[in-house]
Amino acid sequence: MSAPQITPFGTTVSGQDVARIALHGHGLTVAIITKGATLQSVRLAGVDHDLTLGSDSLADYEGKMRHHGSLVAPVVNRFKGATAPIDGKLRKFEANQDGKHTLHCGAAGTQHKVWQVVEANDTAVTLAVDLPDGEGNMPGNRHVTARFSLHEGARLRLEVTATTDALTLFNAANHSYWNLDGSASWAGHNLQIAAPSYLPTDDDFCVTGEIADVSGTAMDFRRGRKITPADTVLDNNFCLSAGRQALRDVLWLTGTNGLMMTVATTEPGIQLFDARSAQRPGGPTYEGLAIEAQNWPDAPNHPSFPSIELEAGATCVQVTEWRFNRS
């Protein structure tokens, strides 16, 4: 295989060099930056616009766009009250959401770190990061890898693996925003999700613990429907299964131009956020949909949810694929 195109992407405010890795093959051109293991760009042959929301500025990714396209770990989403039990002991984490809750592990999240390139070729790259015991008050020396690869059928695959030397929590997710039309809003896209239930949230967007049937609600996307910001409010986890499964198709997003993205994942949940408050610098709100395959949020605080515990010596493997085609 030929070598990938690796170019400088700037230097962080802390003085770390960031690289951009461009992958090409199977009808896709994809770029990943090492800051946050971030999916910066996804282009499909014959389509004249990017399918995901990115930036050419590292400063943007250190600022308002710190979650755009990044790999959020060790635990994505929220801990209500900034606490969670681990091995029977209640631990306190950074309360970076309104001084009350933990969002995306706060400053200890991998979205803020510069990952190392382990290996790369023209169709795949593996990045890695080490998380020391006690960082963010999370136990275990943890090693995390993220492998992005391109496959036949215009498929982009992300495989995340994690190991630890002590019982810990792990639930990673790619946090990309998608707009298949290349327009100022996702309005008019058609959304279908193979989820019979979802997790309602409180006024702080923390899950209540209820597992609600989607039947007869605005959260029923099983047959697919056209969505607009006026009639679709999203910052919720959709429950796909009661635990990790073999890779299967779970979500279908179709633009008004007929371009479709199918999302497959091993994960039991998928979080959608409508970007009502996540615009790019100078850009509009509702520009793209955040689609985050993951385990259910705040799981340690809800014993009925699938566990996100990772035992010492064990390996967690999370796989997500995005497949693109035109009707």
Query: Where are the domains positioned within the chain?
Result: 5-326
Count CB atoms within 10 A of the CB of residue 91: 17
At residue 135, the 3 state secondary structure works out as: helix
Residue 98 Cα to chain centre, angstroms = 22
Give me the residues paired with residue 200 across strands: none
Residue type, 44: L
pLDDT band at 141 (very low <50, low <70, confident <90, very high): very high
Tell me what pLDDT residue 1 has. 58
Render pLDDT for 158-206 as a digit per residue (tens, 0 to 9): 999 999 999 999 999 999 999 999 999 999 999 999 999 999 999 999 9
Tell me what pLDDT residue 4 has. 75
CA distance 23 to 12: 23
Pair 314, 169: CB distance under 8 Å: no
Spell 44-74 as b/e; 16+ CB within 10 A means b: beebeebbbbbbeebebbbebbbbbbbbbbb
Render pLDDT for 274-308 as a digit per residue (tens, 0 to 9): 999 999 999 999 999 999 999 999 999 999 999 99
Q: What are phi and psi of 108, to 5 degrees?
A: -85, 0
* Tokens representing residue 128 in the block: 């890695």
Mean pLDDT of all residues in 23-44: 98
CA distance 322 to 249: 9
Render pLDDT for 208-247 as a digit per residue (tens, 0 to 9): 999 999 999 999 999 999 999 999 999 999 999 999 999 9
* Tokens representing residue 276 in the block: 């009502």
Render pLDDT for 90-122 as a digit per residue (tens, 0 to 9): 999 999 999 999 999 999 999 999 999 999 999
Pair 75, 169: CB distance under 8 Å: yes
Mean predicted lDDT score pLDDT of the chain: 97
The third-level CATH classification (topology) of the domain covering 5-326 is Beta-galactosidase; Chain A, domain 5 (2.70.98)
